[in-house]
Amino acid sequence: MQANAGYKIVRLKNGAQSVHSLAHLETFHPVIGPVAEAEALYVNQLRLAERFENCRGEFVVWDVGLGAAANALTVLRTLCRVPGSIRLVSFDATLEPLQFALEWAAELGYLDGYTNQLRALISDKRVRWVAGQTTVDWQLCLGDFPALLRTAAARSLPKPHAILFDAYSPARNPAMWTQPLFSDLFKLLAPERPCALATYSRSTMLRVSLLLAGFFVGSGHATGEKEQTTIAANTLDLISEPLPHAWLRRARKSTGSEPLWEPIYRQAQLTPTTWDRLQQHPQFRDFAPNASLNSI
Ligand SMILES: C[S@@+](CC[C@H](N)C(=O)[O-])C[C@H]1O[C@@H](n2cnc3c(N)ncnc32)[C@H](O)[C@@H]1O
């Protein structure tokens, strides 16, 4: 186990090594390790290789929570086998985990072959290269993500086809899981460009937040010990298992489904206003029972 001021390397049960934040008391990829988790949760679930292959023009991926770059590099390794143009936009408030990962590149393994590009990304905030028939243009937006989403600069970013959403947990990092953040994110998508977002959380609170923002929402694949994750998209075509009406009934009874409206963690039941809005969502509108929240 290796540590510096804010991070340490931890060895997981399967032998894979991952970065752990001492401030948040969270391991970045805690169950099956960085590469296996990034492949299951993002590469496979978002069908990135297939979508990239069929994409005319640049394929744009937003990497929210660059951290130690395991998700970003796993995506690049897969997509660089396919001819085309990749535009990767990474977001983070700090470069510390990436700098830490570079110091421990030999232990982590997944940075192999990319350390020069990562150093260029850190110093120039943008790096471009060609790998065979694939061109990569990787940009870093450094700063507070919720605040950045509300700037004019965010509106001029290339519109994503896929979003990897990997903040710390809602309890420790509530600012990254508020409903207004997901609304701001949804508003930045191009309606005519199909886009899917995946994240490790399966919480009802998150799913309600995404639905209210305008996303369609589905159950995501299992990764390691998590039996479910979440996938959201601006079109139902990108979701293989949309949340059914039975989920809506469970959300209504749950004690923790009301979205976070402020960056302060708490758990609360759905308010009547949220319940009404949920029933009006196109994913449920045609099936919702005619009932008020008070009639449970
Ligand atoms: C679990 S780590 C990400 C791990 C990373 N995806 C990887 O593959 O190594 C969460 C990241 O979210 C970033 N983050 C947390 N709050 C943020 C905020 N308000 N704005 C931007 N980034 C934030 C943290 O700095 C941290 O690097």
Cβ of 21 below 6 Å from ligand 1: no
pLDDT for 225 = 61
Q: Which two tokens stand for residue 182?
A: 């997901």
260 in any annotated domain: no
Q: What is the pLDDT along the chain (296 residues), one digit of tens a residue?
A: 444 579 999 998 888 899 999 989 898 888 888 988 999 999 999 999 999 999 999 999 999 999 999 999 999 999 999 999 999 999 999 999 999 999 999 999 999 999 999 999 999 999 999 999 999 999 999 999 999 999 999 999 999 999 999 999 999 999 999 999 999 999 999 999 999 999 999 999 999 999 999 999 999 987 766 678 999 999 999 999 999 999 999 999 999 999 999 999 999 999 999 999 999 999 998 654 544 444 33
Q: Write the pLDDT tens digit of every residue in 157-191.
A: 999 999 999 999 999 999 999 999 999 999 999 99
- Give the span between the Cα atoms of 200 and 225, in whole angstroms: 11
Q: In Å, what is the CA distance from 199 to each residue of 205, 221, 287?
A: 13, 10, 27
257 in any annotated domain: no
Which atom of ligand 1 is found nearest the CA of 148? Answer: 20
267 in any annotated domain: no
91 in any annotated domain: yes
pLDDT for 29 = 85
Cβ of 92 below 6 Å from ligand 1: yes
Task: Give the list of residues 6+ apart from residue 106 with CB closer than 8 angstroms, or none.
Answer: none
Minimal-distance CA residue to ligand 1 atom 17: 93
Which atom of ligand 1 is found nearest the CA of 63? Answer: 6
Q: Write the pLDDT tens digit of every residue in 17-64.
A: 999 999 898 988 888 889 889 999 999 999 999 999 999 999 999 999
Cβ of 94 below 6 Å from ligand 1: yes
CA of 140 to the centre of ligand 1 (A): 13
Cβ of 169 below 6 Å from ligand 1: no
Cβ of 254 below 6 Å from ligand 1: no
42 in any annotated domain: yes
Minimal-distance CA residue to ligand 1 atom 15: 167
Task: Give the list of residues 6+ apart from residue 279 with CB closer than 8 angstroms, or none.
Answer: 248, 285, 288
pLDDT for 23 = 87
Task: Give the list of residues 6+ apart from residue 222 with CB closer than 8 angstroms, or none.
Answer: 40, 228, 229
pLDDT for 172 = 94
pLDDT for 125 = 98
pLDDT for 228 = 87
For residue 226, the one-letter residue type is: K
Which atom of ligand 1 is found nearest the CA of 72? Answer: 8
CA of 245 to the centre of ligand 1 (A): 33
Cβ of 177 below 6 Å from ligand 1: no
pLDDT for 13 = 86
Cβ of 41 below 6 Å from ligand 1: no
pLDDT for 15 = 87
9 in any annotated domain: no
CA of 177 to the centre of ligand 1 (A): 12
pLDDT for 105 = 96
CA of 173 to the centre of ligand 1 (A): 9
**CATH number, domain containing residue 170:** 3.40.50.150
Q: Alpha-carbon Rg of the chain, whole angstroms?
A: 19
> 223 - beta bridge partners?
226
Tally of domains in the chain: 1
Minimal-distance CA residue to ligand 1 atom 11: 65
262 in any annotated domain: no
Q: Quick one: 294 exposed, middle or buried, by C-beta within 10 A (0-12, 13-18, 19+)?
A: exposed
pLDDT for 293 = 44
292 in any annotated domain: no
CA of 149 to the centre of ligand 1 (A): 15
For residue 232, the one-letter residue type is: A
Cβ of 174 below 6 Å from ligand 1: no
- Give the span between the Cα atoms of 66 and 91, in whole angstroms: 6
CB 101 within 8 A of CB 108: yes
Contacts by residues 248-255 (CB-CB < 8 Å, ≥ 24 positions apart):
248/278, 248/279, 248/284, 248/288, 250/204, 251/204, 251/207, 251/208, 251/278, 252/293, 252/296, 253/296, 254/204
CA of 205 to the centre of ligand 1 (A): 20
CA of 82 to the centre of ligand 1 (A): 28
CA of 145 to the centre of ligand 1 (A): 9
- Residue 138: domain span: 30-244
pLDDT for 286 = 66
